[in-house]
Amino acid sequence: MKLLLLIYAISLHIVFAQENMESEPSFPILEGPYLGQKPPGLTPEVFAPGIVSTEHRDLSAFFTPDMKEFYFTRKDVKTENWSLVVYKLEDNQWQKSVVGPRVGRPIFAPDGKIMHLGSKYMERTETGWSEVKSLGPMFDREDWGIMRLSASSKGTYVFDDYKSNDVIRISTIKDGKREEPKLLGKEINTGKWTAHPFIAPDESYLIWDSEKDNGYGDSDLYISFRQQDGSWGTAINMGDKINTDSWESGGYVTPDRKYFFFNRGDRDGDIFWVDAKIIETLRPQ
């Protein structure tokens, strides 16, 4: 009798395990560039639906310069905790892991050796990433609220400040020395919620998000092209293919300059991508 009961219990365990396996969706094997996703055209599409863009709040996507690591931030809908997630391309397959809690709006410097985290940063080491460090008193100030700091190949910093009426500042390097940050002009600092700047590595354009009277409703993405005299051109709304009556923010161009990533949506925000050629369609002739 004991033997029969044991066999019955084992049988139930096997059946239960099989039912659980069948009820859980199988996670796809991700191979090839861009997490194996089919590239979009000039109409934005959700990036990696069900994998990267999920029921959680998934934002702030960026790649390493070699395009073999993909990072983004995620706010869990149940715990409401933010984390920094990474997919790494290993043996032609993308493997997911969590770097740690989110700090600021993370983004790489163009060389991929520094991950900027607002007023803080991490350095790449032989074993991963360093501890979180401060950029120093010039940037790590109590009266400033830096969410995103973007760097050019020349070392120029462009960053927002939600504690000072949502403005964007710039800090350049002159004669090898870091210059004190200055407010950008009215071409950039006009409207509400002006934030999350991205400066092109060659400093040829600047992308940010803001809510303006001539926009599509909520926060829209804008672009300004660098003029021949070094000034910034008039802010250009990135158009109705990029912007909607929802919330668009966090623009970013991949290191290979092929795709433009951005956030869309509020509490259920997702990551979208589109062919970066759309930037050239906006450049004044």
103-280, superfamily in CATH?
TolB, C-terminal domain (2.120.10.30)
- The pLDDT score that the predictor gives to residue 283 is 94
* pLDDT tier for residue 16 given thresholds of 50, 70 and 90: very low
Structure token digits, residue 259: 């795709």
For the segment 168-184, the average pLDDT, to the nearest whole number, is 97
* pLDDT tier for residue 26 given thresholds of 50, 70 and 90: low
pTM for the model stands at 0.89
Which distant-in-sequence residues (6+ apart) come within 8 Å of 177 by Cβ? none
What are the residue ranges spanned by the domains of the chain? 103-280
- The pLDDT score that the predictor gives to residue 217 is 82
The sign one gets for the Cα dihedral 85, 61, 154, 65 is positive
pLDDT tens-place string over residues 103-154: 999 999 999 999 999 999 999 999 999 999 999 999 999 999 999 999 999 9
